[in-house]
Structure 1
Amino acid sequence: MSQKLMATRSTPPVSLPRHSKSDNPNPYPLSPTVNNDRYPILSLINQCNSTKQLKQVHAQMLRTGLFFDPFSAGKLITASALSPFSSLDYARQVFDQIPQPNLFTWNTLIRAYASSPDPIESLLVFLQLLHHCEHFPDKFTFPFVIKAASELKAFRVGRAFHGMAIKASLSLDVYILNSLVHFYGSCGDLDLAYAVFVKTPQKDVVSWNSMITALAQGGCPEEALGLFRGMEKENVKPNDVTMVGVLSACTKKLDLEFGRWVCSYIERNEINVNLTLSNAMLDMYMKCGSFEDAKRLFDKMQEKDIFSWTTMLDGYAKLGEYDEARHVFDAMPSKDIAAWNALISAFEQNGKPKEALAVFRELQLSKDAKPDEVTLVCALSASAQLGAMDLGRWIDVYIKKHGIKLNCHLTTSLIDMYAKCGDLEKALEVFYSAERKDVFVWSATIAGLAMHGHGRAALDLFSKMLEAKVKPNAVTFTNVLCACSHTGLVNEGQRLFYQMEPVYGVLPGEKHYACMVDILGRSGHLQEAVKLIEKMPILPTASVWGALLGACRLHGNIELAEQACSRLLELDPRNHGAYVLLSNIYAKTGKWDRVSGLRKIMRDFGLKKEPGCSSIEVNGIVHEFLVGDNSHKLSKEIYSKLDEITAKLKSVGYVPNKSHLLQLVEEEDMKEQALNLHSEKLAIAYGLISMGPSQPIRVVKNLRVCGDCHSVAKLISGLYDREILLRDRYRFHHFRGGNCSCMDYW
């Protein structure tokens, strides 16, 4: 922006004629011979309701010469720039034809641009005013250019306007001071905003509103509410704008009780409740958790706009009331992209990626709105959750086709999608081609390398990140420590963990401790892991004890596993995963009586093991399989393929690992059959019968893959000469030629 402004300063505009200086001190001269009675054509300007009609009046003014009178031209500019049917392009063309626009006309154009989608034009016109106009900017000019600077968050430019107003002896004008309070608040400098507010000699309601809004939006809700109380003490009557700011502060504080008091205050004081204020109350109720109050208000509102509907839609979605959210969505008289995004993101963020993508496809067919950055980020995230590579690729192509500039959010989402869908090479391609890489872009790429078992490469990328002067954050360290965990890089993990706070200023949190316990425990250093937990400066969370329990399962340490399970259940009594992990340990050591005991406890508490679910994408369609699933239309063929696989496995000496069963099954053939019903085996079998021999089989599982399925996948990759990519809850396993990328360290 500053370059554009400087260019304008250094190259004087040539489109406007140079004005001769005049002795007339009035910047808005009225021609004594020009008035609406003498020239009725001027009164027609006020009657115009379209640009076409205005152009007809413009033509008449040119014929009669009236256009060259400054006052008359000013009226035409006002109508073309500020009327309900205004056209700024037309207004600018008209302005450029005026030989000597007066200051009123300059201010009108500056004002129109300040409220336009391109407020920088307001500043450029202001620079032309300084160069061409015989009059210096006045008390009406500065509020408009300060507003433009607010919109652009152009701090240095706005401060320059402040200085110019002081030099012009306008520093005590209340309109300019109110604009400056809003400007400094918009730029995040609340101290300067407050300093201007305090120095305002005769504060009006706008002064108070500007400061209350600045504090509320600047993260100081308590101070905003305090100022509201001060406003009452000064006997300044609040209006609807005041109450919007106060409600915003209540929302930021999540103070429902005070928010309700504000709503009753509005009613008692008969403050005009317009749509904006109704929406502010609705938003406060919803975000403060009172859905009943929000629904009561919504049903009572006589006027609703897209914000009102979207607020209710978002509220239902966040409560998990998806049917009601859909009902609100369908009832909306018009749907902008924000409404579509609210529904898509609600599904995506609450573990319903299939539903999110279904709404995304509906959006594409509806033509009501075009996907924006938020839509695409949500759709990419949903694709990543499902492992829907085809749709993820389509979104990538859509971004390129429509010339959408890749910002860091989209870049991060693309990297995450490709990595989680199994195409690490493409994820790295996106990373290296990105023009700008923030900490999240780097962190997502490190996470991708980590989940694919490339621990060393992840550490190398972390080093390059530091060389690029990008400061790592807590997410970065979680991903780096995961990389060390997946590949047994114990010393490297410890070194980075103990450098977090002293070297990088990142305080280790529960996720980092859980990762460190996993690193130590997975590598067999169980006692070191216990000592680390005992020395934690924060209370160990369920995830920390879960990491220790998982390590005990790997190394068969029953005594420590029972202690870890007990501590985990103290924190989270309904954690079915704890029972399952301990049950796995008992089953691995053949203690089936204890397995049965745990299963009984789970039944008594009404706990159920999360069912295993595996999905596979074939020709753009995601197919899901549960344990023992026979609902697929090709079930017969899938089970026939499983029988063929079983026969081939036996021919090469495969023996099922029955310790991976969670329940006591007496008959040996039933144990074998139960293992065959695992969801990942069904998905792999479907992949073998439905995909070409050159296509990799990509399977996504919601749980950790069991040891027997891992062994079977290795053998299938060799027997059928197929590449199999299996993503479980924690990482990727690349099976090829009878081997796995994890080298059985998982």
Structure 2
Amino acid sequence: MATQILPSHPPALPRTHDPNNSGCGRSNHLSVRRKAEDHPVLALLDDHRRLDADSIRRIHARMLRLGLLDHPYSASRLLAACSLSPSPDLRYARRVFDHISAPNLFTWNIIIRAHASGPDPRLALLLFSSLLRHSPHSPDKFTFPFAIKAAAELAALREGAALHAMVAKSPFLRSDVFVLNSLVHFYAACGDSNLSLRVFEKIPEPDVVSWNSAIAALAQGGRWDEALQLFEEMDRGKVMPNDVTMVSVASVCGKKGDLELGKRIHSYIERGEIKQSLILDNALLDMFVKCRSLADAESLFDGMTTRDSISWTTMLVGYAKSGQFDAARRVFDEMPRRDIASWNALISCYEQSGRPKEALDLFHELQHADATPDQVTLVAALSACSQLGALELGCWIHAYMEKNNFQLNYHLTTSLIDMYSKCGDLDKALRVFGCASKRDVFVWSAMIAGLAMHGRGREALDLFEQMQEAEVEPNTVTFTNILCACSHAGLVEEGRLCFSQMLPVYGISPTADHYSCMADILGRAGLLEEARGYVESMPTPPGATAWGALLGGCAIHKNVELGELACRRLLELEPRNHGAYVILSNLYARSGRWDAVAMLRKVMKESSVKKEAGCSSIEVDGVVHEFLVGDISHPTKEKIYLQLEDIASRLKAAGYVPDRKEEDDAKEKALCLHSENLAIASGLPDDMFAGTDPDHEESSCVTVRVWIGLLLASVLLEAKQSWMEAKKRVAVLNFVQQSKCVLSCGLDRDGYLLQVCCYTRGEAL
């Protein structure tokens, strides 16, 4: 901590126990206390938990007039009422304490205890320091647990260790179970499960709190097996577990997926050996959900006499993560009260399960409900916008954050950079990054990824250098993004260098993703044998991603033999991966192997492997529209298809010739029905080509709008040919025309399409 709270050399504690130093200070003021106890005013403080602040102040005023505050017992009773009520006024309690002329140890303990549980536990440690310096009393077995609790709340390792040292000097305190229990909890709160366990092992006769604290310490430290072993030892001993024990053990069972032990814990409750509580029921419910035992979760949920928002939300998440989204939505609709955590749970489940449209639909519902979005909500909504390319909504969320003074923490900053990058507005992503007051490794990595996906590999490498100059250590994600940037920009030597430095320079062992990136870098560059070497030298068996990267390189450079090997290995891992068949088919077609193309189609048909229908979306006036291949469900389908036919005729007039190796007419018609083209056409204005003559070259070049339409269709059509090979050799193309329709295409150095974003918005780039 910034300032030293406890003295460097605290006074030694008494070696013999003085009963006059006990927490209650009873013998010093026994006669006075008897007189004070008889006073009727003090009877008003008997049930201080029901007293409000005004009542306590009135009683305080009467005690002042009667002189009762001169007696330590009376003063301590008032202080307890101020400090330990359900809604304590600690400032008022401190003023009361400061006016007590000679507070006894019981009074000190009350004020330290109150601040240890208050909003600023540091004050409890300051009071403890004052007790050591200015009071004739020495802290006792009640004082230390309160002070140690304050240190635990602050995770103040230095102060807690000083308290531990003081305890160790006292023969009475160093064996006291209450003091040692607080130390077990303290070290667990500081993340040191080893010290926590060592203190536990020194307790002569551990009680249930001791066992619970030690089990919780191991669980929090990720030492789940040891936590369960300690529970088994406790269960075999003389100490009976209680509901607090079972909450910790149920949590560990959920994390480990140990359904058998989880059911055993549940049986304690069913037999009545453990007191049932809402907290324990929720812990068991969470355990069943994490163990994917929805039947047990449903049975427990249906039998719960009391449920809170945690119970409902846990059930909702269980259904959503098992793919039962209708059931999840039903639970959400049936909730008697929805807090923001409930909204966040379902929005996040939709977003993380590849249902971004449902996530944004629910986000729109939230805006009309009695709940206010928080940072978790906005992170999930921004991620959904990223998946859909919903730039206008993403901009609205950004504006909402600024209007409502949301502090841009690491999570929100990373999400904004990711959203703007994936929605095609790299300039705004760079502005968000530039305005970030603090940047962690995830913020830097997100910006590197944004530059990579837009084909700006050199800038990504420059940013990586700046990251190191800022003394931010890269992680595995950073290197994945850097290698992707090298791949998209064709930076082979730079990619080799980054990969070779991972372990010796940064201490990061390359993962399967990094090996796959190297295979992609080398494969795109035509270094196919070297790429194969990276795939086959992986520390773990190569996965589908690695073989897919090699297959892609073979498709680019027409290496049929190695492509067949890569495809075969890929299909061994994912037999129904239609993408592998498509890439190999394209490779055969580009090599003139039409017999192999026919044979491959036959194999796909016999194996019932079908290409998944493509789905594309476009945001128009803040509304996301989705299209499938050949979609005819859109309300403006007639306009869309007329627009596509018009574009196709103008492309022909402009001399556009697609790279096709199949039947021209059928293929040309099929290309027009791609979901991307349908989405783009739906966003074009009705008067796109007004005043132009498609047969006259000069008039086709008169307006920027015409060229946008032609180039838009050209890029999209060409991107479908020869494994997404495009003819335009540019890094990023951004076009604006009068209808505010924007196309952002990210292409790498060799012309491979990285991303296509088309959206409408109210201002030009």
Q: TM-score, normalized by length of structure 2?
A: 0.86
How many Å separate the matches in 1 of 2:178 and 2:704?
A: 71
Structure 1 pair 535–229 and aligned structure 2 pair: CA distance change class (3 A): closer
* Bigger mean CA offset, 724-733 vs 226-235: 724-733
How many Å separate the matches in 2 of 1:30 and 1:703?
A: 95
Q: In 2, are the aligned partners of 1:111 and 1:145 still within 8 Å (CA)?
A: yes
Provide Cα deviations, 1:35-74, integer angstroms capped at 9, x if missing partner: 6763222222234524143333333333333344332232
1:346 and 2:364 correspond: no
* DSSP 3-state at the match of 1:658: coil
Alignment of 1:422-433 (within 5 A): 422-433=424-435
State the shift of 1:581 in Å.
1.6
2:721 to 707, 727, 730: 707
Q: In 2, are the aligned partners of 1:726 and 1:733 still within 8 Å (CA)?
A: yes
Question: 1:214 maps to what in 2?
Answer: 217
State the shift of 1:31 in Å.
5.8
Structure 1 pair 358–91 and aligned structure 2 pair: CA distance change class (3 A): farther
> What code does the residue aligned with 1:684 have?
I
* Bigger mean CA offset, 80-89 vs 434-443: 80-89
* Bigger mean CA offset, 704-713 vs 48-57: 704-713
State the shift of 1:190 in Å.
1.7
Provide Cα deviations, 1:588-617, integer angstroms capped at 9, x if missing partner: 445555444434433443333122222222
Question: 2:43 maps to what in 1?
Answer: 43
Q: In 1, are the aligned partners of 2:33 and 2:74 still within 8 Å (CA)?
A: no
Question: 2:616 maps to what in 1?
Answer: 614
2:744 to 720, 725, 731: 725
* Bigger mean CA offset, 542-551 vs 610-619: 610-619
Structure 1 pair 436–717 and aligned structure 2 pair: CA distance change class (3 A): closer
1:261 and 2:264 correspond: yes
How many Å separate the matches in 1 of 2:309 and 2:121?
A: 25
Question: 2:11 maps to what in 1?
Answer: none
* DSSP 3-state at the match of 1:147: helix
1:182 to 175, 185, 198: 185
* DSSP 3-state at the match of 2:627: strand
Question: 2:229 maps to what in 1?
Answer: 226
* Bigger mean CA offset, 155-164 vs 450-459: 155-164
How many Å separate the matches in 2 of 1:95 and 1:517?
A: 71
* Bigger mean CA offset, 615-624 vs 712-721: 712-721
> What code does the residue aligned with 1:173 have?
D
Q: In 2, are the aligned partners of 1:522 and 1:551 still within 8 Å (CA)?
A: yes
1:412 and 2:414 correspond: yes
Uncovered stretches (5+) of structure 1, i.e. residues with no partner: 11-22, 736-746
Structure 1 pair 674–403 and aligned structure 2 pair: CA distance change class (3 A): same
Q: In 2, are the aligned partners of 1:455 and 1:487 still within 8 Å (CA)?
A: yes
1:655 to 631, 654, 657: 657
Q: In 1, are the aligned partners of 2:445 and 2:478 still within 8 Å (CA)?
A: yes
State the shift of 1:448 in Å.
0.7
Question: 1:356 maps to what in 2?
Answer: 359
1:673 and 2:669 correspond: yes
Q: In 2, are the aligned partners of 1:5 and 1:124 still within 8 Å (CA)?
A: no
How many Å separate the matches in 2 of 1:214 and 1:95?
A: 35
How many Å separate the matches in 2 of 1:133 and 1:381?
A: 57
Structure 1 pair 92–388 and aligned structure 2 pair: CA distance change class (3 A): farther
State the shift of 1:338 in Å.
2.1
Structure 1 pair 634–712 and aligned structure 2 pair: CA distance change class (3 A): farther
2:306 to 303, 307, 312: 303
Question: 1:682 maps to what in 2?
Answer: 678
How many Å separate the matches in 2 of 1:463 and 1:431?
A: 15
Q: In 2, are the aligned partners of 1:243 and 1:266 still within 8 Å (CA)?
A: no
Q: In 2, are the aligned partners of 1:713 and 1:724 still within 8 Å (CA)?
A: no
Structure 1 pair 129–261 and aligned structure 2 pair: CA distance change class (3 A): same
Structure 1 pair 160–591 and aligned structure 2 pair: CA distance change class (3 A): same
How many Å separate the matches in 2 of 1:519 and 1:346?
A: 34
Alignment of 1:244-255 (within 5 A): 244-255=247-258
Question: 2:473 maps to what in 1?
Answer: 471
Question: 2:510 maps to what in 1?
Answer: 508
State the shift of 1:229 in Å.
2.6
How many Å separate the matches in 1 of 2:583 and 2:526?
A: 17
How many Å separate the matches in 2 of 1:119 and 1:724?
A: 55
How many Å separate the matches in 1 of 2:400 and 2:31?
A: 58
Provide Cα deviations, 1:255-277, integer angstroms capped at 9, x if missing partner: 11122223224544712122222
Q: In 1, are the aligned partners of 2:391 and 2:619 still within 8 Å (CA)?
A: yes
Structure 1 pair 415–153 and aligned structure 2 pair: CA distance change class (3 A): same
State the shift of 1:462 in Å.
1.4
Q: In 2, are the aligned partners of 1:110 and 1:125 still within 8 Å (CA)?
A: yes
> What code does the residue aligned with 1:431 have?
F
> What code does the residue aligned with 2:488 have?
H
Q: In 2, are the aligned partners of 1:205 and 1:237 still within 8 Å (CA)?
A: yes
Structure 1 pair 401–161 and aligned structure 2 pair: CA distance change class (3 A): farther
* DSSP 3-state at the match of 1:689: coil
State the shift of 1:311 in Å.
1.5
Structure 1 pair 50–336 and aligned structure 2 pair: CA distance change class (3 A): farther
State the shift of 1:351 in Å.
0.7
> What code does the residue aligned with 1:317 have?
A
Question: 2:12 maps to what in 1?
Answer: none
Q: In 2, are the aligned partners of 1:240 and 1:277 still within 8 Å (CA)?
A: yes
Q: In 2, are the aligned partners of 1:212 and 1:245 still within 8 Å (CA)?
A: yes
> What code does the residue aligned with 2:203 have?
T
> What code does the residue aligned with 1:39 have?
H
Question: 1:280 maps to what in 2?
Answer: 283
Q: In 2, are the aligned partners of 1:613 and 1:702 still within 8 Å (CA)?
A: no
Alignment of 1:538-577 (within 5 A): 538-577=540-579
> What code does the residue aligned with 1:674 have?
A
> What code does the residue aligned with 2:485 have?
A
Structure 1 pair 155–25 and aligned structure 2 pair: CA distance change class (3 A): closer
State the shift of 1:352 in Å.
0.9
* DSSP 3-state at the match of 1:732: strand
State the shift of 1:446 in Å.
0.9
> What code does the residue aligned with 1:553 have?
A
> What code does the residue aligned with 2:510 have?
P
Q: In 2, are the aligned partners of 1:446 and 1:462 still within 8 Å (CA)?
A: yes
> What code does the residue aligned with 2:624 have?
V
1:201 to 199, 204, 215: 204
Q: In 1, are the aligned partners of 2:356 and 2:384 still within 8 Å (CA)?
A: yes
Provide Cα deviations, 1:184-231, integer angstroms capped at 9, x if missing partner: 112121221122111112222211111111112211121122222322
Structure 1 pair 251–720 and aligned structure 2 pair: CA distance change class (3 A): closer
How many Å separate the matches in 1 of 2:667 and 2:583?
A: 19
* Bigger mean CA offset, 149-158 vs 240-249: 240-249
Alignment of 1:571-586 (within 5 A): 571-586=573-588
- Across the aligned residues of Structure 1 and Structure 2, the Cα RMSD in angstroms comes to 3.4
Uncovered stretches (5+) of structure 2, i.e. residues with no partner: 9-18, 689-702, 759-765
> What code does the residue aligned with 2:638 have?
K
* DSSP 3-state at the match of 1:320: coil
How many Å separate the matches in 2 of 1:198 and 1:256?
A: 29
Question: 2:2 maps to what in 1?
Answer: 3
* DSSP 3-state at the match of 1:32: helix
> What code does the residue aligned with 1:307 have?
I
How many Å separate the matches in 2 of 1:635 and 1:423?
A: 28
Provide Cα deviations, 1:336-388, integer angstroms capped at 9, x if missing partner: 222222111111111111111222222232123x3332222212211111112
Q: TM-score, normalized by length of structure 1?
A: 0.88
Question: 2:600 maps to what in 1?
Answer: 598
State the shift of 1:132 in Å.
4.7
Question: 2:389 maps to what in 1?
Answer: 387
Provide Cα deviations, 1:85-130, integer angstroms capped at 9, x if missing partner: 5444544454445444433233223223322343333333334444
Structure 1 pair 362–720 and aligned structure 2 pair: CA distance change class (3 A): closer
1:482 and 2:484 correspond: yes
How many Å separate the matches in 2 of 1:727 and 1:304?
A: 50
How many Å separate the matches in 2 of 1:202 and 1:730?
A: 69
Higher relative contact order (CA 8 A, sep 6+): 2
State the shift of 1:483 in Å.
0.6
> What code does the residue aligned with 1:389 have?
L
